[in-house]
C-alpha cells in the first residue's frame, strides 16, 4: 500500500518540483494551494506525512495549519515538514530541533536531504534508489532552478504571465 503525502504549496514551480522529486511507486502525492484546502485535504486523505509551505494565500498560513493539526487528536502524531523560504521563527525553534515528528527545511532545498527526511519520518528506508549519474545531473539542474526561483523571490521580482519578470 503506498504512502500518502499531502503538499500544501502555492508556488506552481515548487509544487511541480515536489511532484518530480518525490515520485516513486510507493508514494502518492496530493496537493493543495491554500491552507484551508490543505487542511480539508489532510482530513480527507489522512496522509502519512504532510509538507507545508508557510506563506500561503487565503486566511490560513502554514503555521496555522500546523497548529490546527497539532490541536487535533487525530493528527497530533502526523509527521510534518515545514518547507519554506522563511527562516525559522525563534519561538518555533525548539519544536523542530532534532525532532522525529516535525522538520523545518528552508528553500531552496537539497533533494537528497528532503528525500532522507521523508524516508526517516515514514520509517521506510530506500524509497528511492541511489540516483544514476544522469539523474544526479537532472537533480542538480532542478536544484539550480529552485535556487534561481528563490533569488527571484528574494529580489521581489515575479515572472509575469508571458514569462519575463515584472
| Helices (runs of H) and strands (runs of E) counted in the chain | 6, 5
Q: Is the pLDDT of residue 101 over 90?
A: no
In b/e form, how buried is each residue of 31-66, taking b as 16+ CB within 10 angstroms?
bbbbbbbbbebbeeeebbbbbbbbebeeebbbbbbb
Domains of the chain: 3-129 (3.40.50.2300)
Q: What is the pLDDT of residues 14-67, one digit of tens each?
A: 999 999 999 999 999 999 999 999 999 999 999 999 999 999 999 999 999 999
129 or 164, higher pLDDT: 129
Answer whether 0.85 is exceeded by the pTM: no
Amino acid at each position: 500500500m503506498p504512502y500518502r503525502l499531502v503538499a500544501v504549496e502555492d508556488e506552481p514551480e515548487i509544487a511541480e518540483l515536489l511532484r518530480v522529486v518525490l515520485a516513486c511507486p510507493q508514494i502518492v502525492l496530493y496537493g493543495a494551494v491554500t491552507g484551508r484546502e490543505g487542511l480539508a485535504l489532510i482530513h480527507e486523505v489522512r496522509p502519512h506525512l504532510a509538507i507545508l509551505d508557510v506563506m500561503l494565500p487565503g486566511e490560513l498560513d502554514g503555521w496555522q495549519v500546523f497548529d490546527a493539526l497539532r490541536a487535533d487528536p487525530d493528527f497530533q502524531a502526523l509527521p510534518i515538514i515545514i518547507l519554506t523560504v522563511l527562516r525559522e521563527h525563534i519561538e518555533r525553534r525548539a519544536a523542530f530541533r532534532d525532532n522525529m515528528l516535525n522538520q523545518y527545511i528552508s528553500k531552496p532545498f537539497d533533494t537528497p536531504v528532503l528525500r532522507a527526511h521523508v524516508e526517516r519520518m515514514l520509517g521506510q528506508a530506500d524509497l528511492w534508489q541511489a540516483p544514476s549519474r544522469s539523474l544526479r545531473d537532472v537533480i542538480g539542474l532542478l536544484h539550480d532552478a529552485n535556487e534561481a526561483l528563490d533569488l527571484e523571490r528574494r529580489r521581489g521580482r515575479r515572472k509575469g504571465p508571458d514569462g519575463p519578470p515584472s
